Amino acid sequence: MIGWAARRVLQALVTFLLAATLAFFLMRLTPGDPLARLTEDRPLSPEAVAALRARYGVDKPLLTQFVVFLGGIARGDFGGSIEHNGRPVAALIRERLPATLLLGGTALALNFLFGVAVGVYQAARAGSRADHALTLVSLAASATPSFWLGLVLAWAFGTELHWFPVAFMSEPWLASGASWSIRARDLLWHLVLPALTLSLVTFGATARYQRAAMLEALALPSVRTARTKGLPERLVLWRHAWRNALGPMLALFGLWLPLLVAGSVFVEAVFVWPGLGTLAADAIASRDYPVLMGTTVLVSAAVVAGSLLADLVHRWLDPRLRES
Amino acid sequence: MTPLLEVRDLRVTFPGTGNEVSPVDGVTFSIDAGETLALVGESGSGKTLTSLALVRLVPLPGRIAAGSSIRFGGTDLLALGPGALRQVRGRRIGMVFQDPMTSLNPVLTVGDQISETIRAHFPVSRAEARGRSEALLLEVGLGDTAGRYDTYPHQLSGGMRQRVMLAIALAAEPELLVADEPTSALDVTIQAQILALLDQLKSSRRMSVLLISHNLGVVAGRSDRVAVMYAGRIVEEAPTDRLFAAPAHPYTQGLLASLPRLRGPRRPLKAIPGMVPRPEAWPPGCRFHPRCAQVMPQCTSEPPIVAPGEGRWSRCWLGAEGA
Amino acid sequence: MKRPPGGLRLAWWDPAGRVGVVVLGLLGVAALLGPALLPDPLAQPDILGGALLGPGAGHPLGTDHLSRDVLARVVSGARISLAVAAGAVSLSVTLGALVGLAAGYLGGWLDAMLMRLVDAALAIPRLFLLLIMIAIMERIPIGVLVLTIGATGWFGTSRLVRAEVLRLRAMDFVRGAEALGASRRRIVFRYLLPNVAGPLAAATTLAVGDVILIEAGLSFLGLGVQPPTPSWGGMIFDAKPYIISAPWTSLAPGLAILLAVLSVNLVGEALARPLTRRNA
């Protein structure tokens, strides 16, 4: 298991580096000037332009820039932000990361919860009207644009019903001396709508996979044995069938992560959630390429890591594979 | 004395392309308390479906057709609700299947799989269930190593897994054990061990057994009566020694003749010509007649039941009046 | 129970698929004929008095903040969204099929290299790939938008096609043809491609849904279809400040997206059904 794990980690590393390389060359080779935003509004003298280019390292030959870039990744340095006057991109990312992790993590948990519940329910009643109805619901949910759903939920539950706040991560007027429990509740309340939005548009795929995995598991001879033992149906469903349906679900991690990451850009924008998504969206508006590159590299690392983790856990969960 | 299990006119149907097919087509037999009935037939004869029908686990889209009757200890099994049915499964009828590797849950320990059966039927604590499971493991011959309870199925050999399956099937102390090809997936030497274990458990617990096999050799010394199944129906039933001594139905004769013999002069193996027909295309009348060496003109119509006494009968035109 | 037909007819035979086909058909007809029957989506007849009117006479879906007819804009937006989706998906499916066929059939170092590239590309979420490219190119014409979206969508398809090709290659009918000396080109076009068509069709329809959502999202961020050309995503962006006072301005385009993607997904599901049965 260790040998296999080491090889798999190495493979993940290679994939990540290749991805970073791809992103780098994509950005550099796409026609357009990375510093256009800074130079377009104010006519600068050639020396000033040259100084700017030197400052952001775009005056050197492409390959040198690439090496600098790779070195930067190893050190966690993504250069300086254009919009924020050279402030290290890494620092900006560090500031915003926890908010995105909180939102993404909560959305992932809800996604899993909804997806498993719906998928197992459907499999246990395969072919029934409820099954067909739920498939339609999952497909409709996956067809919904996340930013639109966010707006609708914000309008319905926020401005109309006043149940939940619709922007930011906390109320700005909360005194810094407020108690821990008040802050926690405030945070939770702000988390509800964005996390709900993100999980609702992504749970459909989970439900479909779970349904399919459960149907396969329910047809297994070992589940038939469990029934002949006279076990209560819920034990048959969860302890026997679902345990065997769990493995394929972990492969979904690779699917979830990109979905959540992409979705979070829109959802954070709609709810003004101070995370990486809004950082990226702002960077787009201000053409702040170092920030964009930094977030892209980070997000790719997350995707690769997520997929790696899913593989490792899948392997560990199945005692048969553990020893081979 | 009423029999423990009474199956009458059991039909299992599947939707086909066009019409329904009935892989089990009017099966009738019964088993008394403490008796062992062997159900013998080739693959495709409907034996496994019959055994699954007893506990109503026929796989979808199959179903047990109306007109079938299954009575166990006087109770009509086909009329039971899900809760009552679960109390029959495991507790009154235990089942052992052919392939222990796929029949056991790979992510649970063998001990847990036995314990959960016990706890499903008896109100005992975890510790008590564990104790009983370990006693069961001992009883099936797996008690030699401590910690056997905590092993996983993939860590055991085929023979050991089948012993575990037996332990699971017996955990709730059923009155009837259904063993569907219990040794077919095992090596020959292990087969003998498992069959001997089965004999021993049968007598120590005074259980009835429905032993299903395609191998006549397996049932020879181990059953009281044999029912031979072909193309969805039972074609002959007799006490075991009578069947082997004087088989009445040509199919049974063919099966016995095709058994290779270790002793005696060397001669070519005698196979039954032709192939087992598929449920979609059963021959009219006697379903065996296209392959029968003693076929007669009237065999294309439904053969009568011939029962010359001695507790035996066969479904054939031979020996019938007006033949 | 009758046997389902093969190929694209399956989309009609399956009840859910039929709904999808019908809705898509209606959308298509509306997109083609609508603009001729409806007011000009770009016209702003009366900004002062006619803006943000609710659904009513003359404006079945109301007007937006520039007094443009919402229904006309939604229908025009359909044209744009469907056209962009069709164009981008054609590109990515073609690329994906080519790469998948090459990698699966030719194997060797070409396969290894291509798949490494695909793995790396799949590690970057598609949205970020698009953000990088489009942000640098600044305002891009629709044609370039279609090319860009198409160029970022072939990776998954290539893996799918490659897997199918590998599976087919091992089958006797292909090996038989090779043994009889059939040329590579013949094998690819007469043996592999027709059999890959099934899974490919299912994946293609789902890809259309993806692209509609992506284009809407990009337009919402100001990076997709540029105003004043109507696009569903752009309409939602414009309607953001008015969600409380005039919710129909954002509800209409959002529902349009939902309907379009849902019907595409229904068709895709119907086409994919025999495959899930086969793999189970």
Domain boundaries, chain B: 1-92+174-193+201-285, 107-171
DSSP letter, residue B5: E
Cβ(A9)–Cβ(C116) below 8 Å: no
Give dist(CA C195, CA C187) in Å, integer.
11
* Matching residue, tokens 């087919």: C168
pLDDT of residue A264 exceeding 80: yes
Instruction: Give φ, ψ of B63 to 5 degrees.
Output: -155, 160
Give the closest of A219, A221, A243 to B99, CB-based: A221
pLDDT at residue number A37 = 61
Structure-token pair, residue A93: 């990312």
Cβ(A63)–Cβ(A28) below 8 Å: no
Give dist(CA B171, CA B131) in Å, integer.
12
Per domain, the residue ranges of chain C are 7-39+61-277
Partner-chain contact C131 A293, CB within 8 Å: no
Chain C residues touching A132 at Cβ < 8 A: 16
DSSP letter string, A214-273? HHHHHTSHHHHHHHHTT--HHHIIIIIIIHHHHHHHHTTHHHHHHHHHHHHHHHHHHHT-
Give dist(CA A155, CA C99) in Å, integer.
46
State yes or no: cis peptide before B61, omega within 30 of 0. yes
CATH superfamily, domain B1-92+174-193+201-285, is: P-loop containing nucleotide triphosphate hydrolases (3.40.50.300)
Distances A7 to A17, B155, C48 between C-alpha atoms, Å: 16, 26, 67
Distance from CA of C133 to the nearest CA of A (A): 6
Give dist(CA A255, CA A263) in Å, integer.
12
Report residue A123's pLDDT band, with 50, 70 and 90 as the boundaries.
Answer: very high
Report residue A324's pLDDT band, with 50, 70 and 90 as the boundaries.
Answer: very low
Distance from CA of B115 to the nearest CA of A (A): 11
Structure-token pair, residue A270: 């709609």
pLDDT tens readout for residues A232-256: 999 999 999 998 888 777 767 666 7
Strand, coil or helix: what is B203?
Answer: helix
Greatest alpha-carbon pair distance for chain A in Å reads 86
Q: Strand locations in chain B, DSSP E? A: 5-15, 20-31, 36-40, 63-64, 69-72, 75-76, 93-96, 176-180, 208-213, 225-230, 233-239, 305-309, 312-315
Overall residue count recorded for chain B in this entry: 323
Chain C residues touching A30 at Cβ < 8 A: 132-133, 136-137
Give dist(CA B187, CA B262) in Å, integer.
18
C278 touches chain B (CB under 8 A): no
Give dist(CA B115, CA B130) in Å, integer.
6
pLDDT of residue C278 exceeding 70: no
CA nearest neighbour of B5 among B180, B210, B183, B153: B210
Distances B316 to A124, B28, B214, B303 between C-alpha atoms, Å: 45, 16, 21, 5
Give dist(CA C172, CA C37) in Å, integer.
57
Instruction: Give φ, ψ of A86 to 5 degrees.
Output: 80, 5
pLDDT tens readout for residues A178-224: 777 888 888 888 899 999 999 999 999 899 889 999 998 998 899 99
* Matching residue, tokens 């076990």: A231
Highest mean pLDDT among A56-70, A97-111, C64-78, C130-144: A97-111
Find residue B306's DSSP bridge partners: B314
State yes or no: cis peptide before C228, omega within 30 of 0. yes
Give the chain B residue nearest A227 (alpha carbons). B89
C1 touches chain B (CB under 8 A): yes
pLDDT tens readout for residues C175-220: 888 788 877 777 777 778 888 888 888 889 889 999 999 999 998 8
Which helix (DSSP H) or strand (DSSP E) does residue C165 occupy?
helix C155-169
Instruction: Give φ, ψ of C222 to 5 degrees.
Output: 85, 10
Find residue B228's DSSP bridge partners: B40, B236
Find residue C60's DSSP bridge partners: none
Who has greater pLDDT, A3 or B52? Answer: B52
Give dist(CA B75, CA B57) in Å, integer.
17
Angle between helices A146-153 and C248-279 (to 10 degrees): 130
CA angle C147, C151, C153 (to 5 degrees): 120
- Helix-strand-coil split of chain C, %, nearest 5: 75, 0, 25
Chain C residues touching A19 at Cβ < 8 A: 120-121, 123-124
Residues 186-215 of C with CB under 8 A from A: 209, 213
Sheet with strand B312-315: strands edge to edge: B93-96, B176-180, B208-213, B36-40, B225-230, B233-239, B312-315, B305-309
Pairing verdict, β B312-315 and B233-239: antiparallel
pLDDT at residue number C260 = 93
Size of interface A-C (CB pairs under 8 A): 154
Distances B93 to B76, B116, B167 between C-alpha atoms, Å: 14, 16, 13
Task: Compute the half-sphere exposure of residue B137: CA atoms within 13 Å on the CB side of its CA.
Answer: 25
Centre a 10 Å sphere on the Cβ of residue A180 and count the other Cβ atoms it contains: 7
The residues on A that touch B, with CB distances below 8 Å, are 219-222, 224-233, 235, 239-240, 243-244, 317-320
Greatest alpha-carbon pair distance for chain C in Å reads 78
pLDDT at residue number B319 = 75
pLDDT at residue number A175 = 64
Give dist(CA A319, CA A80) in Å, integer.
48
ipTM here = 0.86
Give dist(CA A111, CA A108) in Å, integer.
5
The type of residue at A39 is T
Report residue A97's pLDDT band, with 50, 70 and 90 as the boundaries.
Answer: confident
Q: Strand locations in B218-291, DSSP E? A: 225-230, 233-239
B17 touches chain C (CB under 8 A): yes
Partner-chain contact B15 C1, CB within 8 Å: yes
Distance from CA of C177 to the nearest CA of A (A): 35
CA nearest neighbour of C152 among C129, C136, C168: C129
Cβ(B240)–Cβ(B224) below 8 Å: yes
Those residues whose C-beta lies under 8 Å from the C-beta of residue C60, and which sit 6 or more positions away, are C71
Chain B residues touching A220 at Cβ < 8 A: 102
Angle between helices C193-220 and C142-151 (to 10 degrees): 130
Angle between helices A253-271 and A276-285 (to 10 degrees): 60
Mean pLDDT value of segment C72-93: 91
pLDDT of residue C279 exceeding 60: no
Helices (H), B77-221: 82-88, 100-103, 110-121, 126-139, 158-170, 188-205, 216-219
Q: Does domain C7-39+61-277 have CATH number 3.40.1550.10?
A: no
Query: Choosing among A33, A78, A147, A166, which should be mutated to test the C contact, i.e. which has the most C CBs within 10 A?
Result: A147
Structure-token pair, residue C224: 């997709």
Partner-chain contact C123 A155, CB within 8 Å: no
The whole-chain average pLDDT of chain A stands at 83
Cβ(B234)–Cβ(B9) below 8 Å: no
Mean pLDDT value of segment C31-49: 75
The type of residue at B158 is G
Give dist(CA B201, CA B94) in Å, integer.
13
The model's pTM is 0.82
pLDDT at residue number A309 = 83
- In order along its 323 residues, chain B shows pLDDT tens digits of 688 999 999 999 998 777 888 999 999 999 999 999 999 988 878 899 999 999 999 988 888 998 999 999 889 999 999 899 999 999 999 999 988 888 999 889 999 999 999 999 999 999 999 999 999 999 998 877 778 899 999 999 888 999 999 999 999 999 999 999 988 888 888 888 888 999 899 888 889 999 999 888 888 888 999 999 999 999 999 999 989 988 889 999 888 888 777 777 877 777 888 888 888 888 888 888 888 888 888 888 888 888 888 888 898 888 776 54
Give dist(CA A31, CA C4) in Å, integer.
50
